[in-house]
């Protein structure tokens, strides 16, 4: 038995998926702007900022694995 999804529901799902993808990409890119601000606010060294970015990138990689 084939499942039937109406065109309206399919369009809604597609729009929601696109919005979620846009937010995720925006938040991933925002870290480049936030790191210098966080470093200054918390007195972090360049090495600590690098470790934060490496942890963020590693976590993103792990979460995107199928």
**pLDDT digit string, tens, across residues 7-32:** 888 899 999 999 998 988 888 888 88
pLDDT at 3: 67
**Token duo for residue 57:** 């990138």
Enter the pTM of the model. 0.58
pLDDT at 55: 92
Contacts of 63 (CB under 8 A, 6+ apart): none
Q: Is 40 within 8 Å of 23 (Cβ atoms)?
A: no
pLDDT at 2: 53
pLDDT in tens, 28-54: 888 888 889 989 999 999 999 999 889
Contacts of 64 (CB under 8 A, 6+ apart): none
């Amino acid at each position: 038995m084939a499942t039937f999804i109406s065109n309206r529901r399919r369009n809604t799902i597609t729009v929601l998926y696109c919005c979620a993808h846009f937010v995720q990409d925006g938040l991933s890119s925002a870290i480049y702007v936030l790191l210098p601000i966080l470093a200054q606010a918390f007195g972090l060294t360049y090495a600590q900022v690098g470790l934060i970015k490496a942890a963020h990138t590693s976590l993103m990689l792990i979460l995107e694995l199928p």
